[in-house]
Amino acid sequence: MRLSTVILPVHRWSEGGREAWQRAEELGFHAAYTYDHLSWRSFRDQAWFGALPTLTAAAAATSRLRLGTLVTSPNFRHPVTLAKELISLDDISDGRITLGIGAGGNGFDATALGQEPWEPRERADRFAEFVGLLDRLLTQDVVSYAGDHYSAHEVRNIPGCAQRPRLPFAVAATGPRGLRLAAQYGQAWVTTGDPKVSNGGGTSDDSREAVRGQIERLGKACADQGRELADLQKIMLTGFTPDRPLDSVDAFVDFAGRHAELGIDELVLHWPIADSLFETDVAVFERIATEGLAQLAAR
């Protein structure tokens, strides 16, 4: 089991931003991610900075911590420009970048560029084309492509990623088409659980059963691609299930153990943000970061 965190880009770099990323490294987290949105839910009318510039600054301020997005989506990104930025970021970080990538949703990002939100089928079509083209752009020196939604004309991406053949993709997906993409292109898979469970008043047991089903379907998608389920790291972004793993070290250890039994091998905890839905006792959070996995291993 690996333990990571996600640091939302809500602080000016000189007023707590830099310190959060450096503290994440000091605490021994495997990775620190950030959301890639233009704004997000209850933070819409508050400070919110760009993901890729934030990760670039974090790369310069740290030396061991893996860094990445949870998650980037096609809502306001284009594969051609995104690939160039990712190659640059992977170089600056000396190969410490993971790209979390998902289909996106119907939140603020979906309409920020003036378009109507995409229907589910179009969103899935765009996601498939986006991931496939991005894979080519990050692994080939020269790419031309004409698709239904995206195009590239003699695009050069030299020298490519610092990580070879490219930086890893962590594909967020629960539906059949998304799981196929995870099995085809992913080095990792990401889940937040099943929103129907949390929004519908389900229990922790219901949530774990839903995750178990997701992993079973992922295994079938991997088999269809000639891959082993074990080839993919299985990441869970916490904070969206009925559980409360940040209440105490014991609560975390119980949560982590039960999800490790399902096959989850990386848990991502939200960095504490005062006066928000991610408000957490900082002392407990840091004890979980430094003691939680050792206590889990000792069980």
Tens digits of residue pLDDT in 22-51: 999 999 999 999 999 999 999 999 999 999
pLDDT given for residue 198 in this prediction: 85
Angle (CA) 148-125-193 rounded to 5° is: 160
With 90 as the cut, is the pLDDT of residue 187 above it? yes
With 90 as the cut, is the pLDDT of residue 209 above it? yes
- Does residue 97 sit in helix, strand or coil? strand
Give burial (CB, 10 Å; 0-12/13-18/19+) of 123: buried
Mean pLDDT of 112-135: 96
Token pair listed for 9: 């880009």
Q: Has residue 216 been placed in a domain?
A: yes
Q: Has residue 233 been placed in a domain?
A: yes
pLDDT given for residue 288 in this prediction: 98
Q: Has residue 180 been placed in a domain?
A: yes
Mean pLDDT of 94-111: 95
What range does the domain containing 177 cover? 173-243
Q: Has residue 139 been placed in a domain?
A: no
- Report the candidate in 198, 195, 192, 196 with the shortest Cα–Cα distance to residue 242: 198
Q: Has residue 224 been placed in a domain?
A: yes
Place of tokens 């979906």: 110
β-bridge pairing 169-172 and 266-270: unpaired
Among the residue ranges 162-166, 199-203, 258-262, the one predicted with the least confidence is 199-203
Longest dimension (CA), the chain: 55
With 90 as the cut, is the pLDDT of residue 200 above it? no
Domain count, the chain: 1
Angle (CA) 167-181-208 rounded to 5° is: 100
- Give the whole-number percent of the chain exceeding pLDDT 90: 97
- Report the candidate in 25, 191, 169, 185 with the shortest Cα–Cα distance to residue 97: 169
- Report the candidate in 217, 201, 210, 200 with the shortest Cα–Cα distance to residue 236: 210
* CA–CA distance, 233 with 96 (Å, rounded to integer): 16
**CA–CA distance from 3 to each of 29, 128, 189, 289 (Å)?**
6, 29, 15, 7
Q: Has residue 83 been placed in a domain?
A: no
Q: Has residue 29 been placed in a domain?
A: no
Mean pLDDT of 49-61: 98
Q: Has residue 162 been placed in a domain?
A: no
Mean pLDDT of 128-153: 98
Mean pLDDT of the chain: 97
Please report the sign of the dihedral spanned by the C-alpha atoms of residue 241, residue 243, residue 245, residue 247.
positive
Express each pLDDT in 76-97 by its tens digit: 999 999 999 999 999 999 999 9
* CA–CA distance, 265 with 75 (Å, rounded to integer): 28
pLDDT given for residue 199 in this prediction: 87
Q: Which of the four pLDDT bands, split at 50, 70 and 90, describes residue 222?
A: very high
pLDDT given for residue 26 in this prediction: 98
With 90 as the cut, is the pLDDT of residue 229 above it? yes
* CA–CA distance, 20 with 282 (Å, rounded to integer): 12
Express each pLDDT in 273-295 by its tens digit: 999 999 999 999 999 999 999 99
pLDDT given for residue 10 in this prediction: 97
With 90 as the cut, is the pLDDT of residue 68 above it? yes
Mean pLDDT of 222-245: 97
170: left (phi over 0), alpha (psi -120 to 50) or beta: beta
Residue 56 near residue 91, CB atoms below 8 Å: no
Within 8 A by CB and 6+ apart from 162, the residues are 90, 91, 93, 94, 95
